[in-house]
Amino acid sequence: MPRGSISEFMVHFDVDRIPGVLSREFEVARVIARSQGRGPIVAFRVEGCLQDSVSNIVDTRLKLYKAIDVSSDYEAYSKLFEAMSKQSKISIVGAPKLSIAERGLLSLPAVRFYEKEAGLYFSSAVFIACFDGVCNASIHRVLVKDENTGVVRIVPRHLWELYLRARSRGANLPVTVLIGVHPAILISAASSPRFGVFELEVASSLLGGLEAYESPIHKNPVPYGAAAVIEGWLTGEMLEEGPYLDVIGTYDRVRLQPVLRVESVYVNKDEYTHVILSGGLESSLLIGFLREVAIWESVSRVVPKVYKVRLTPASGGWLHAVISIDKRHEGDGKNAILAAFAAHPSLKHVVVVNSDIDPDDLGQVEWAIATRFQADKDLIIIRNVRGSTLDPSSKDGLTAKMGLDATKPINAGLEFERGRIPGLE
């Protein structure tokens, strides 16, 4: 049965091993940025760390689809939607051999990526919290202050709800934080199913089972193959967190956020920890893919067939979407636009194209806009609506949204066809 480790996944890909020891300050970021999207997983040792780390484990769709054992967009969207609807129980087994990390958080790959960031960050931390009979797994960035203290950015979703419940009773929220897990677990932790659905059970469904053990202090479920396990509490104490370069490539603002007080840090020295370059390809795929699933499901309700949904890397996999559809009636393109906005409220701009246009080729998308779009009849603008607070041009998240229907008319003639050379792929 799968143990949820990175090493299980790495056997399917080439690995580029960087010699020597890398500085936490910018050197790790440079290595990741130069290697992303090129094919191999990159492995390296960060100064002061007990284990090797990896990055770019899901920086391409090929890797992401391998992580959940699918081979196409349709299979991927369908499998994840089904996994969120019907989870699979995890199997509790005995714990692996763990070592105590004497330097606490500083034994793990906390890294400073960009020059104006506040300090060293964990970028792939999966928080496991169980409270009031509800378990949740979600990804959060952590600003490392010292070996026993971090500051955690928590948006008002499910972990925040559990935190508020604990604080309302005067209690700190016990959390188990994982660094270095199989990418299917990361995908599940980023998926945001309805409150009460445990994301580790979503991962178990994706993987065809998952072995886990009880964490040493809090007895929270931990995938057997997790590389590092942090036991601590989210406290009522607040400290400044940020600036941090977020998915869209701009610095997120400074906020007061909850303090993580660490009791102990454990490592499985046979496994790899994981570093994600904020604002990089891996970051945008992990955050965007789950929203693509939501858009695909929503748009599929209003048009005959959805071929591809792409949240573009340049928008951080978050603000811009391109959707290719079968168009059977005039107005299908506009219905698809509205369905996309409903499925992903942070979406700012969306382009809908026919199935002969590949959303992965932005040159083809631009061609469709140039030849099939008229602004006076094919443009939708929605003013003064809630969007993403990550967009610096918005005002506290209040924004304008734009949809472009770049589909050709029903029964369009030859003048709307793209030229094709037979045999030229």
Least confident of 7-16, 42-51, 282-291, 294-303: 282-291
Q: What percent of the chain has pLDDT over 70?
A: 100
Can you give the pLDDT at residue 396?
A: 82
Angle at 82 between CA 79 and CA 86, to 5 degrees: 135
411 pLDDT tier (thresholds 50, 70, 90): confident
State mean pLDDT over 200-217: 95
Does the active-site annotation cover 146? no
The model's pLDDT over 140-161, given as tens digits with 9 standing for 90+, comes to 999 999 999 999 999 888 999 9
State mean pLDDT over 10-23: 96
208: left (phi over 0), alpha (psi -120 to 50) or beta: left
Tokens of 181: 């897990």
Q: Is the pLDDT of residue 5 over 80?
A: yes
Q: Is the pLDDT of residue 328 over 70?
A: yes
Can you give the pLDDT at residue 419?
A: 81
Is 301-416 the same fold as 6-275? Answer: no
What Cα–Cα distance (Å) separates residue 261 from each residue in 38, 173, 373? 38, 10, 55
Q: Is the pLDDT of residue 413 over 80?
A: no
> Half-sphere exposure (CA, 13 Å, Cβ side) for 74?
6
State mean pLDDT over 80-106: 91
State mean pLDDT over 248-275: 94
State mean pLDDT over 285-312: 93
- Percent helix, strand and coil across the chain, each to the nearest 5: 30, 30, 40
Q: Is the pLDDT of residue 123 over 80?
A: yes
What is the domain partition of the chain in residue ranges? Answer: 6-275, 301-416
424 pLDDT tier (thresholds 50, 70, 90): confident
232 Cβ partners below 8 Å, 6+ apart?
A: 174, 175, 177, 260, 261, 262, 263
- Whether domain 6-275 has CATH 2.30.110.10: the reply is yes
Peptide bond into 243 cis (omega under 30): yes
In this prediction the pTM is 0.91
The model's pLDDT over 377-410, given as tens digits with 9 standing for 90+, comes to 999 999 999 988 888 888 888 999 999 999 999 8
The model's pLDDT over 348-373, given as tens digits with 9 standing for 90+, comes to 999 999 999 999 999 999 999 999 99
Catalytic pick among 59, 73, 246, 332: 246
Can you give the pLDDT at residue 177?
A: 98
Can you give the pLDDT at residue 81?
A: 86
Can you give the pLDDT at residue 247?
A: 84
Q: What percent of the chain has pLDDT over 90?
A: 81
Distance CA 154, CA 176 (A): 15
Can you give the pLDDT at residue 414?
A: 78
Q: Is the pLDDT of residue 83 over 80?
A: yes
Which CATH superfamily is 301-416 part of? UbiD C-terminal domain-like (3.40.1670.10)
Q: Is the pLDDT of residue 425 over 70?
A: no
The model's pLDDT over 164-197, given as tens digits with 9 standing for 90+, comes to 999 999 999 999 999 999 999 999 999 878 888 9
Q: Is the pLDDT of residue 322 over 70?
A: yes
Of 312 and 192, more confident: 312
